[in-house]
Amino acid sequence: MPLNYSYVLNAVGGKDTLSPAYGEGIRMALGTLADCGDVDWLADARALDIPFNGPPDAVAAAFKEMATRWKLDINVVPAEGRKKELLIADMDSTIIGCECIDELADMAGIKPKVAEITERAMRGELDFESALRERVALLKGLPLESVARVYAERVRLNPGAKVLLRTMRANGAYCLLISGGFTYFTSRVAADAGFDGQQGNTLVDDGHALTGKVGEPILGRAAKLEALERAASERELDLFETMAIGDGANDLGMIQRAGLGVAYHAKPVVAEAAAAAITYGDLTGMLFLQGYREAEFVKG
């Protein structure tokens, strides 16, 4: 990336959605707002960068309608320091494609009731800690075999998760999974996806079934932010060298504090507050945001 440009407009689509004509159209539109360079393709027909000098917030706002119309993830990031040294990621509906507590509730036959509380908490309408206690209380008596079935039958990594983790770790980054969900799942998902570490809440059981209690203190929004700051401090990293990704209101603290905070298929309150958003693409969009080329991806 030429050093005489301060910002980069990054555009990522689904497979084969970005033709050269689309790329040139984006460059021409950017050229009406700022001094910009040429299109730099990070992945043929999928992802591109265009460097520019100009007001980043105004450029980002101007491309919102185009992003929606063309179903592209279009974000503006600083040109310098794009590749991050620390990734902190939410689990449910971010690294995996479900909310584990809702799937546990389905096993107990009460999914609609619990899912409604989950949705309100994710939108920021309910205090996360109180909402978690309320939902876990409803799971009292659920056999541990049902917890194991949820992981075996319903927990699946979202597309691009393994490539994201393998590529960042191969380039020296530390990757931490942190969740308001439960360690039964975070420990397994972290191992499967390839995280360096993990944190979550604890479901209390009596050896046979859930007791309806959750271990205290509850890991919520403040704890996620603290985990980001602690992990950066332990590795002597400036927060600009970090990135965070999540989809719900309890992720906002870390998303807004990280050097690059990304909303992933997120609730509106999160998408509006985050510096960047992945709305249409998969988790490899996190690599394109950092300027990685598809040829640099570690796929297996």
Catalytic residue among 49, 73, 90, 247: 90
Does pLDDT of 2 surpass 70?
no
282 is catalytic: no
Q: How many other CB atoms are found less than 10 A from the CB of residue 233? A: 10
pLDDT of residue 124: 87
Give residue 16's pLDDT band: very low, low, confident or very high (50, 70, 90): low
pLDDT of residue 14: 76
DSSP H stretches of helix in the chain: 20-31, 56-62, 64-70, 100-107, 111-122, 128-137, 144-154, 161-170, 183-193, 221-234, 252-257, 268-273, 285-289
pLDDT of residue 18: 87
Average pLDDT for residues 75-100, to the nearest whole number?
Answer: 97
Higher pLDDT, 17 or 236: 236
Catalytic residue among 49, 92, 102, 251: 92
Out of 3.30.70.260, 3.40.640.10, 3.30.470.10, 3.40.50.300, which CATH number does the structure's domain 1-80 have? 3.30.70.260
Tell me what the pLDDT averaged over the chain comes to.
Answer: 95
Q: Please check whether residue 7 is in contact with residue 53, taking contact to mean a CB–CB distance below 8 angstroms.
A: yes
pTM here is 0.95
Rounded CA-CA distance 49/60 in Å is 14
CA 168 to chain centre: 14
pLDDT of residue 3: 63
Rounded CA-CA distance 226/288 in Å is 27
Sorted by where each begins, the domain ranges of the chain are 1-80
Tally of helices (H runs) and strands (E runs) in the chain: 13, 13
90 is catalytic: yes
| 260-264 vs 242-246, strand pairing mode | parallel
Average pLDDT for residues 111-127, to the nearest whole number?
Answer: 90
Q: Which residues contact 29 (CB under 8 A, 6 or more apart)?
A: 62, 63, 66
Q: Please check whether residue 248 is in contact with residue 131, taking contact to mean a CB–CB distance below 8 angstroms.
A: no
